[in-house]
Amino acid sequence: MRSLRLAATVLLLTSTVFALEIAELRNGFTIPHRTREARDGQMRLYLDDQKASFVDIPTAEIESYSSQPDPPVAEVPKSIKTTGQIVSEASQKHGVDSDFIQSVIQHESAGNANAVSRTGARGLMQLMPGTALQLGVKDSFSPEQNVHGGTQYLKDLLERYNGDAVKALAAYNAGPAAVDRYKGVPPYSETRQYVRRIVHDYNKSKAAPSKEKIRAKNASPDRATVESASR
């Protein structure tokens, strides 16, 4: 009996190496458990990590122990797409200008996918939990889900206000109810500054020459060059 208890004690000390153990009883049954503890001729087998559930088995009834690691937890692959790629895809899918989406992202979160506002808005386009739920966004910190959800919301607001981007932005910031109540941008300084800044940045992005236009210009000789070369 002493040697059996000694063996049990040694196994107890080494049991933490394995995530899951199996107690094999003399009657052929097995009991999976997390840890165990010898207690006056019995072995207490704890069935969970918190030791809230256990079973006491006479030590003499336990034939042997075997160890088994927990199955590896499958990791969810993170998105490897850039914000620009996601915005481009959302623009094509929902029919909203990509520069418009990018301007909203910049002023909502400064491009921080993990941003959380003091009111609880989350992610790149700062979706409130209730809005995210309505849009079918399960994880607001997922850049793809957040941008597609936010873009869908922008599209809905643009359609609601017949393409009026100013009203759509005001509703995105202050809510459609406030825009409907005041029949336009509500008299909130935060909302008015929000709309003004995004419209300014959006117009600026549209006025700036795109990379494609710059490449095309550099690749095509101008008229003066053509004339001098023909002389």
Q: Is residue 179 part of a domain?
A: yes
Domain span at residue 35 reads 2-68
Q: What is the pLDDT of residue 74?
A: 58
Place of tokens 């809510």: 175
Q: What is the pLDDT of residue 25?
A: 85
Q: What is the pLDDT of residue 100?
A: 97
Q: Is residue 223 part of a domain?
A: no
pLDDT in tens, 29-44: 888 888 899 988 899 9
Same domain, 45 and 112: no
108 is catalytic: yes
Q: Is residue 185 part of a domain?
A: yes
Same domain, 154 and 177: yes
Which of 13, 38, 68 terminates a domain? The answer is 68
Q: What is the pLDDT of residue 145?
A: 97
Q: Inform me whether the pLDDT recorded for 61 exceeds 60.
A: yes
Which of 68, 100, 119 terminates a domain? The answer is 68
pTM, whole model, 2 decimals? 0.58
Q: What is the pLDDT of residue 220?
A: 36
Same domain, 89 and 177: yes
CATH number at residue 40: 2.30.30.100
Same domain, 131 and 177: yes
Q: What is the pLDDT of residue 228?
A: 31
Give the count of domains, the chain.
Answer: 2
pLDDT in tens, 152-184: 999 999 999 999 999 999 999 999 999 999 999
Same domain, 59 and 87: no
pLDDT in tens, 97-155: 999 999 999 999 999 999 999 889 999 999 999 999 999 999 999 999 999 999 999 99
Q: Is residue 113 part of a domain?
A: yes
Same domain, 152 and 41: no
Q: Over pLDDT 90: what percentage of the chain?
A: 57
Same domain, 194 and 164: yes
CA distance 44 to 21: 13
Q: List residues bridging with 45 in a β-sheet.
A: 36, 55
Average pLDDT over residues 205-211: 74
Q: Mean pLDDT for the chain?
A: 81
Q: Inform me whether the pLDDT recorded for 5 exceeds 80.
A: no
Q: Inform me whether the pLDDT recorded for 78 exceeds 90.
A: no
Average pLDDT over residues 83-96: 96
Q: Inform me whether the pLDDT recorded for 201 exceeds 70.
A: yes
Q: What is the pLDDT of residue 34?
A: 85
Of 37, 108, 190, 227, which is the active-site residue?
A: 108
Q: Is residue 73 part of a domain?
A: no
Q: Inform me whether the pLDDT recorded for 47 exceeds 70.
A: yes
Identify which of 155, 159, 146, 192 has the alpha carbon closest to the alpha carbon of residue 173.
192
Contact between residue 25 and residue 42 where contact means Cβ atoms under 8 Å apart: no
Same domain, 62 and 125: no
